[in-house]
Structure 1
Amino acid sequence: MRKLKIAAFMPHPDDTEILVGGTLLKYKAQGHDVHVVIAMDGRRGRGHLPDSVSWQEIVAIRHEEARRACAILGVEPIFLDIEDHRLLDDRDCYEKVIAAMECLNPDVVFTCAPNDYHNDHRCLSRLVLNSAWAPVFFAETSCGVDFNPDFYVDITEFIETKIEMARQHQSQFTEDPKETIEIVNRFRALQCRRKEIRYAECFKLYKRFEWVKAYELLPHDDYELPEKIVPTTERN
C-alpha cells in the first residue's frame, strides 16, 4: 500500500476521537501522513465548565484539549476557528475549508455524514464535498442513526489509545467515555461477523469517480458490509 496523505475534517474539537480516532491511529501506525482539521472553535461547548468561564477561555481550553488528544496521535491539529453554530454554506466558511484542503492536498478525506443530526456537522459535510477532489469517507452519525455503512476498519489494536485520546477532552465529559466508545465500536465489530474483530469503526464512501477502490484507500484489514447482512424484510 503506497503512502497516503489523510485529512480528517471534523466540526468540533472532540469529534475526531469519537468518529475516526481508531482509523487515524491505524493509518499513522502504518506510516501514512495524517492531518486533523477542526472547523469550529468550540465556544458553545461549555460542557460542565462553570458559568464564570468566558467563551474566550472555553476556546482556549478546548484548543488545548484537542492538542493533547492529537499529540497522542502524533499530529498538530489545524484550527479554522469558525464560531460554533455559525458554520454556513457561505463564501467565508467555504474559503477557510478550501484553503485547508488545497494546502493539504490529501489523497483521502474523512468528514461527517451529510444527514448527521447536528447542523454544524451537516454544513461541514457539504463544504468538504464542495472543496475536495479526493475520495471522501463519511463517519457514522450519532449512535448510528440512519447510517448504513459500506466499509469497516478493524480498530481492535487501537481501542485503548482511542479512549485515551477522548479522555483528553475533560471539559466535555462528566463520566469516563470508555464505556460509550466500547459499546459503539463493539456493535460495529459485530456487524463484520469476524470473531477476530473486537472493535471497529465504519464509513460510507462518497465516490467522486467510479474508478475509486476503497480497499486501496482504507488502512489494512478493512471489511466491506457482508452480503448476508440485509434488512429482515429482504431475507428469504
Structure 2
Amino acid sequence: MERRTLLVGLAHPDDEVGAAGTILAQKARGDRVVVVWLTRGEMTEAFGPIPAEEVAARRVEQGRRAGEILGVETRFLDFPDCGLQADSASAHRVARLLAEIKPDGLLTWGDAWGRGMRHPDHQASGRIFRDAVTLARIAKVVAPGQPHRRAAPVFTYRGAHSTIPAVAVDVEPYLDTIHELATFYRENIGFGERGWVEQRLRRAGEPYGLRYAEVFDAWETRPGIVPHLIPAEPTDVGEPIHPDRAQ
C-alpha cells in the first residue's frame, strides 16, 4: 500500500480540533499527516496582558504538544494573527512549502459564514492554501524547488449552508484522542468544551447513520461516507483532468 501525505492547512493552533478524528483516521491507514498553521495565534487573550511574542511562544509549544497527541508533523509560519491576507505573495510563499511537503490531499478552511468559521483568518487561510495547490505545480513559482504536480484533492471544513458535496469520516474509533486534544486546549486556552465536541460530532454523524463523524466539503472527489480522506475517488462531474497535469 502506497503511503500518502495529507496536508492540513489552517490559520491558528486549535483549528485542528475540528478535524482531529479525520487526522487520526488518516494516520491509522499508515499515512503521513502534516499540520501547518499560518499564524502563531498570538492575538489570543487566554494568557492575560503579556507581550505578543510570549503568547506566540506559548502557542507554538501548544501546537507542538497537539502534534504529539495526534502523532503528526507540525509546522508554523509567521503570518500575523488576525492579519492574514489572501494575496499573491502569501499564496506563493505557501506554494513553496507545498512543493516541499508534496501532499496527496489538502484539508483546509472553506468559505463558511457561521460564527467562528467566518473568522477572517479562517477565510484567508483557506483561500491561500487552495491557491497554493495550483501554484505549487508551476516551476517558476517554487524555484529552486521542484514543482509538485501530483493530484492533491481539496477538502474544506463544511459550513451549515454549503452546497458542495460532502464526505463524512467515521471518527468513533478515535473519540478518546479527540477528547484528549480538546481537553488539552480547554485547559490551556479555554476552547474545546467536552459537551460541545460531543454534540458537534453526533450532529455531524446523524445524517449518515454514524454515531460520531466529521464532515467536509469534497471539492473534487466523490461524496459519501469514507474511512479516510485520501486516497479518494475523483468525481465524474466536470471537466476531466488533463493527463499531462495529473502527475
Q: 1:135 aligns to what?
A: 153
Cα distance, 1:104 vs structure 2: 0.9
Aligned match of 2:179 in 151, 159, 163? 163
- Quick check: 1:112–1:138 contact (8 Å CA) kept in 2? yes
Q: Which amino acid aligns with 1:139?
A: Y
Cα distance, 1:76 vs structure 2: 3.0
Is 1:150 the equivalent of 2:166?
yes
Q: 2:21 aligns to what?
A: 22
Unpaired runs of 5+ in structure 1?
221-236
Question: After superposition, what is the alpha-carbon deviation per residue over 1:84-103, rounded to whole angstroms, capped at 9, x for unaligned?
Answer: 12210224322332122111
Residue aligned with 2:103, SS: coil
Unpaired runs of 5+ in structure 2?
135-151, 230-247
Summarize the Cα distance change of 1:32–1:76 in structure 2 as closer, same or farther, 3 Å threshold: closer
Is 1:114 the equivalent of 2:111?
yes
| Aligned-partner Cα distance in 2 for 1:167–1:152 | 24
Q: 1:57 aligns to what?
A: 54
TM-score, structure 2 normalization:
0.76
Cα distance, 1:140 vs structure 2: 2.5
Q: 1:99 aligns to what?
A: 96
TM-score, structure 1 normalization:
0.80
User: Matched residue pairs, number?
Assistant: 206
Dislocated runs of 4+, deviation >6 Å? none
| Aligned-partner Cα distance in 2 for 1:190–1:82 | 37
- Quick check: 1:69–1:166 contact (8 Å CA) kept in 2? no
- Output the aligned Cα RMSD: 2.2
Question: After superposition, what is the alpha-carbon deviation per residue over 1:59-98, rounded to whole angstroms, capped at 9, x for unaligned?
Answer: 0111111111110111231101211122102243223321
Q: 1:13 aligns to what?
A: 13
| Aligned-partner Cα distance in 2 for 1:46–1:103 | 34
| Aligned-partner Cα distance in 2 for 1:153–1:138 | 13
**Aligned counterparts, 1:71-82, within 5 A:** 71-82=68-79
Residue aligned with 1:198, SS: coil
Q: 1:123 aligns to what?
A: 124
- Quick check: 2:33–2:73 contact (8 Å CA) kept in 1? no
Residue aligned with 1:79, SS: strand
Summarize the Cα distance change of 1:171–1:139 in structure 2 as closer, same or farther, 3 Å threshold: same
The percent identity for this pair of structures is 28
Q: 1:226 aligns to what?
A: none
Residue aligned with 2:81, SS: coil
